[in-house]
Amino acid sequence: METQDVNLDEILDGCRQNHRASQQRLFAYFYNYAMTIARRYMGNSETAEEVVNDAFFKAFTKIHLFVGGQPFRPWLRRVIVNTAIDRLRSNMSLAPETELQPWHDAGSLNGIEEALTQEQIWAMLDRLPPAYRAVFNLAVVDGFSHEEIASTLGISVGASKSNLSRARQHLKTILKTEFEFFG
């Protein structure tokens, strides 16, 4: 076992015992990771920071549910994503449910993202309506199925597919109008 793994295990044990110093160490160690995830879902750094704080609070109060011997990062990721989704649900209404119509273009953006900076990608995602951004992140970034997305967001599978298609269309429009290399 690596020294880093032993330290993480010690930190997690301290968190299970509600040691404030261990909680601070865990927060500091995973803060950037958590912010990256929350930022994708929330569309701005201020709200993302609130989500991160809420997610760590949940993680600290539910740390007993984390099974030792398993990787901690995926467990924390799930807590962050669920916290972001809860925030989206409580703060804004999701786009109206619309079943996917045959004329929707579900084309992909494969290859384009390699020519963009992380800041440009975030800026484009920020311009998506919250429901589209949430579905896009869950499907494309986090690998959720449409059934899982529908269950998580409380929408139909058709609405999940439609929102993903529309998110891709919005992103294509942004690329066409703002970047010369995409035509």
pLDDT of residue 124: 83
Map out the domains of the chain with their CATH numbers. 3-91 (1.10.1740.10), 112-178 (1.10.10.10)
Cα gap 26→20, rounded to integer Å: 10
Q: Any long-range contacts for 32-39 (C-beta under 8 Å, 24+ apart)?
A: 33/73, 33/76, 34/76, 34/80, 37/77, 37/80, 37/81, 37/84, 38/80, 38/83, 38/84, 39/122
- Taking a C-beta distance cutoff of 8 angstroms, is the pair 136, 164 a contact? yes
The lowest-confidence range among 19-23, 57-61, 85-89, 92-96 is 92-96
Greater model confidence, 149 or 122: 149
Condensed to tens digits (0 to 9), the pLDDT of residues 92-132 reads 554 444 444 433 344 444 444 455 677 777 788 888 888 89
pTM (two decimals): 0.69
